[in-house]
Amino acid sequence: MNKITINNNCKRCGRCARVCPAAVYTYEKGEVPKVVKPQHCIQCGHCVDVCEADALQHDSFSPEHIHRVQKELIPSPESLMELMKSRRSNRTITELPIPTEALKDIIEAAYVAPTSENSRKVVVTVLEGAEIQAVEDATMKFFLRLASVLMSKPIRPLTKLFLRDLYNEAAELYRFERRWKAGQRPCTCNAKALLVISTPKKYEFGWQDCNMAYQNASLMAEAHGVSQIYMGLVQIAFKFIGQRKTEELLHLPPGHKPFAIMALGMPAFYYPKYTDKPKKYKK
């Protein structure tokens, strides 16, 4: 059970009780909040972080892990919007290494993303070198096997009729095959690192939590000038490759499923402009 105490520094503002999502505290105006259900605590840290008087001690959060917000470092709405608008899936990845500090920041950004009920089930796995090549090969072989069936002479008319998108993309797949055979990695965009973001397969909010982590990591990568590309093709392939093979190739914890995969690398150049995206609002 969590040990939570409130000392004499308490200003009796009741903020800790107001922000707690698990009803750990009760509060009467002008009184010191009472810890009534510590067993319900989900270790979100809201109560600790909201206390201006440092009156609340929680055994899950030692003092060295509690930090004052440096408001001067928080980007303005304008600068944050500029970052989001200028973010691109820049596929001009070079052989330059990703700076170590940048990669550390990108991974940390993924881990500080919010999760459902503060469950913190998200795991970020970093793949490099031969590990990426194995993912590339598995993805390419899956789509080539699929194409060999769906684009065969007896089946092709049905593919064209009922799977038009796949039929239209066949030419692109065969271009990918030529690049792959030439030693390139078209499915993984010649990435220097892959970030595989996973949760336990049966976790109800795996997709949501992993993609919130992805968004955090994507924006941090952009801030560092690191290219990041969503690995849609890879994820489609690994839906059919099988759990055991997926865990093996993506180096996942047992029972985990990848809900988001990001390619990372240093681009050959940056985009000096951005265009406005079409807005589609529903009232």
Architecture of the 4-65 domain: 2-Layer Sandwich (3.30)
* Look-up of token digits 């839906």: 239
Residue 206: CB atoms within 10 Å = 24
pLDDT, tens digit, 9 for 90 and up, residues 215-230: 999 999 999 999 999 9
Q: Please, are residues 132 and 194 in contact by the beta-carbon 8 Å criterion? A: yes
Among residues 282, 272, 262, 260, the alpha carbon closest in space to that of 98 is found at: 262
Per DSSP (E only), the strands in 162-283 are 193-200, 227-230, 256-265
pLDDT, tens digit, 9 for 90 and up, residues 8-27: 999 999 999 999 999 999 99
- Domain ranges for the chain, please list them: 4-65, 86-130+188-265, 133-181
pLDDT score for 158 = 58
pLDDT score for 173 = 76
* Look-up of token digits 């993309």: 169
CATH superfamily of 86-130+188-265: NADH Oxidase (3.40.109.10)
Residue 129: pLDDT over 90: yes
| Phi, psi angles (nearest 5°) of residue 162 | -105, -20
Q: Which amino acid is at 31?
A: E
Dist CA 172 CA 152 (whole Å): 17
pLDDT, tens digit, 9 for 90 and up, residues 86-96: 999 999 999 99
Residue 210: CB atoms within 10 Å = 27
Distances in whole angstroms, Cα of residue 86 to Cα of each of 90, 179, 237: 11, 29, 29
